[in-house]
Structures are given as C-alpha cells and as structure tokens.
C-alpha cells in the first residue's frame, strides 16, 4: 500500500504512529524531523525510524504519506518547508485538534499534494516521545476529515492504513469535527484549567486545599496538565466554536446557581440525576454503529487476583479481550467486571468457561 512515510515532529502521538507502523505494517522506510536530535537518536536506536534530520531536507522525497505532528499554529509553516520535496500524489496529514481553519489555508496547495486531515482521539497528559507506545491507538477513534474532491479510493487506502494501528476510523467534515471537539474536548480542557485556577485563588494561607485536593478533584482536572503550547494554538484556531460552547456552558452554570439560590430541590436533584444517567450511557467501548462488540459482565468478589484469574483463563483458551473495565455503577448493571470480544464465538466460549468455574455471567445486548 505505502512504502515510505515521513513524520514532522516526534512526540507522543507521532512516536506512537511510527512504532505502530513499524511493527504492524509492511512500511519499508520511516523518516523523521525533530528540532531536538536526542529524540531522533533514541528513535533510531530503537529501530523505529530509518533516517532523521533536524531541518526539513530531501529525506522527505518520495514519501507516500507525511504526518505533520506539530502544534496547530505551526502546521502551515512546515507544510511550506515540505513543498520542494513532495509530489502531487503524496498524502499530507496532521494530528491536530482543529480542522476548518487549517482546511482553508491548505486549499492553496491542492495542486501540490493531497491533504487529508486527521485527529486521533487518544493521548495523555504526557506529550513527549518517551511516552509513546505502539498500542496507543488500539480501539481509539481516529477522525479523518477528507475534502469532497479527494478520490474515494485514496481516502479508503489512507483509512485502511490508519486502521492498521488498531484505531477505529470515523469520517467527518471539517466543520462538524470542530463543533464536536469544541464540546467534548476543547471546552472541557478550559474548564479543567479553570477549576485549578479557582482552587489556587481560593486556597487558604496554609494551602490546605492544595494538600487535600486528591481523588475526584485530581481526576477531573488531570487534563489540565497537558501542553500549554498545544492548547494555546487549539483555542485560537477553533475560537468561534469554543466561544459558542462556552456560552452554552455559562447558561448551564447560571441555571444551577439560580436554582440553588432559590432552593429548588427538585431541579437540583434532576440536575444531578439527568447528568448521571447520560454519563452512564457513555460506554468505554465503541458504539455498535461503528463496530460490533460482543459483551458480557461477570459477578466477582472484590479480592486480589480476581481480574487476573479471568484474564489468564481467556488467554489460555485463545480468547482475545478487546475491552475490559470495572463496573463502578451497579444500579443499572449486573456484574462487577465488563468484557468485550470481537466475535460471538469468543463470547459464547468465554461464557462456557466462566460457567464451568461457577461464575455468574450476564450477556449485554
């Protein structure tokens, strides 16, 4: 399919892409640019890349695909540097979190290369190459935003290539993408940082808030530890959609503040209950509209080794677990452990094995 790929900017996402392509595809050559040579030396030592440079050079000639994995505000800069070395059949993609503004800028180069925007919905608060891993994209959404004029066979080939990393590809228009991610990613990052600012501003002189801000507060603000350079660029590139979503969020906060002031107990109860029900409808697995999963829950005692026993049981019988989680909310679920499989055969085999060991198993449809 593709023989040579290039990577501009070697960090968490791009390093994970390189490792996945190296180990899961027939790619022959991977070349990379990064400003810091120590990162490139480490990747070459690991056998992840074949050639590298600390400037954009002719090592990018004859690439079938080039991923520009820099902050959003720098993508056009590196695109222009690549122009002398790319052909009109080369696919240039990115991993940025905004798309519409970038598409407007990329239109001027439509005769120079093929641009297919990309956004892997995965990552970590750690954002450097040493945090990269081959399996980062497994069962994660990878959004592609191809323009309408790109041939379908080209889009399908690139989509299959991305799927080789284990990702689940979803295709959206650039505008739809930006509206969605403003709501589910960009504004939540702003809110997480706002919560941290609020505690910092309200903390007592002896910093008891800082001392006691564990558990739930740390969980809900984890993403505030992400790269400030990256999020500055994202906010400016997707400014209008973010402002629209922030206006909606302001109304939500305004309403709960008013109802709390007025002591409207029923509203306050419903506020939390509606959120709970909707939140609990988010599954950690891929919705069936994208890929079918065969699911069960298993009732187990909360004891050391309970998960390991079942995992080893499945592994020893050749059953691949596609997803596994602990069921935290037991009000609407039976069982304490959740498992998802690729096939009905694997699900039925797992049920039979668990029944033989006297586990209670519940089938999810």
- 214 backbone dihedrals φ, ψ, rounded to 5°: -120, -170
Residue 45, pLDDT score: 95
Overall average pLDDT of the 9-31 stretch: 95
Overall average pLDDT of the 221-225 stretch: 85
330: pLDDT strictly greater than 90: no
Q: What is the per-residue pLDDT across 268-292, written as a single tens digit (0 to 9) for each?
A: 999 999 998 888 777 544 444 455 6
271-286 burial string, b = 16+ CB within 10 Å, else e?
beeeeeeeeeeeeebb
Whether residue 74 contacts residue 98, with contact meaning beta carbons closer than 8 Å, is answered with no
- Provide the 3-class DSSP secondary structure of residue 358: coil
Residue 237, pLDDT score: 87
**Distance from C-alpha of 270 to C-alpha of 252, rounded to nearest angstrom:** 13
Give the distance, in angstroms, between the CA of residue 4 and the centroid of all CA atoms in the same chain.
25
**Distance from C-alpha of 277 to C-alpha of 206, rounded to nearest angstrom:** 39
Which ranges in 134-291 belong to alpha helices (H)? 152-163, 174-181, 187-202, 208-212, 216-220, 228-237, 239-261, 265-280
Overall average pLDDT of the 171-188 stretch: 94
Residue 303, pLDDT score: 78
Lowest model confidence (mean pLDDT) among 219-223, 326-330, 351-355: 326-330
Q: What is the per-residue pLDDT across 96-147, written as a single tens digit (0 to 9) for each?
A: 889 999 999 999 999 999 999 999 988 654 568 888 889 888 878 899 999 8
Phi/psi region, residue 51 (left: phi>0; alpha: psi -120 to 50; beta: rest), is beta
25: pLDDT strictly greater than 60: yes
C-beta atoms surrounding 186 within 10 Å: 24
Percentage of the chain lying above the pLDDT 90 cut: 66
Residue 9, pLDDT score: 95
CA of 42: how far to CAs of 19, 48, 326, in Å? 13, 9, 36
Among 147, 175, 6, 152, which Cα is nearest to 79's? 6
Among 123, 124, 116, which Cα is nearest to 141's? 123
41: pLDDT strictly greater than 80: yes
364: pLDDT strictly greater than 80: no
191: pLDDT strictly greater than 70: yes
Distance in angstroms between the alpha carbons of the first and the last residue of the chain: 37
The predicted model scores a pTM of: 0.73
Domains contained in the chain, CATH given: 4-172 (3.40.50.720), 177-280 (1.10.3660.10), 294-364 (3.30.70.260)
């Amino acid at each position: 399919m593709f023989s040579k790929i290039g990577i501009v900017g070697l960090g968490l996402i791009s390093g994970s892409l390189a490792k996945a392509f190296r180990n899961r595809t027939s790619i022959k050559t991977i070349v990379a640019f990064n400003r810091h040579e120590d990162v490139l030396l480490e990747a070459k030592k690991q056998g992840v890349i074949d050639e590298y440079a600390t400037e954009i050079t002719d090592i990018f000639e004859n690439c079938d695909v080039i991923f520009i994995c820099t902050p959003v505000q720098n993508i056009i800069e590196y695109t222009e540097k690549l122009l002398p070395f790319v052909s009109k059949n080369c696919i240039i993609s990115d991993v940025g979190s905004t798309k519409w503004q970038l598409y407007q800028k990329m239109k001027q180069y439509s005769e120079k290369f093929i641009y297919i925007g990309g956004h892997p919905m995965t990552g970590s608060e750690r954002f450097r190459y040493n945090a990269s891993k081959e399996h980062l994209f497994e069962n994660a959404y990878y959004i592609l935003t191809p323009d309408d004029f790109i041939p379908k066979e080209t889009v399908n080939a690139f989509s299959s290539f991305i799927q080789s990393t284990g990702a689940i590809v979803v295709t959206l228009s650039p505008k739809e993408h930006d509206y969605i991610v403003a709501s589910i990613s960009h504004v939540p990052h702003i809110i997480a940082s706002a919560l941290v600012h609020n505690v910092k501003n309200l903390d007592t002189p002896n910093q008891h808030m800082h001392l006691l801000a564990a558990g739930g507060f740390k969980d809900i603000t984890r993403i505030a530890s992400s790269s400030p350079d990256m999020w500055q660029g994202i906010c400016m590139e997707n400014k209008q959609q973010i402002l629209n979503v922030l206006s909606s969020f302001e109304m939500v906060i305004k309403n709960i503040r008013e109802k709390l002031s007025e002591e409207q107990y029923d509203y306050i109860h419903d506020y939390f209950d509606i959120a709970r029900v909707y939140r609990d409808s988010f599954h950690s697995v891929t919705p069936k509209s994208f890929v079918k999963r065969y699911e069960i829950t298993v009732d187990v005692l909360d004891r050391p080794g309970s998960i390991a026993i079942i995992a080893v049981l499945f592994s020893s019988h050749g059953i691949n677990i596609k997803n596994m989680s602990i069921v935290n909310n037991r009000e609407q679920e039976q069982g304490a452990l959740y498992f998802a499989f690729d096939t009905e055969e694997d699900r039925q085999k797992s049920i039979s094995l668990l029944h033989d060991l006297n586990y209670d198993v519940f089938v999810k449809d």
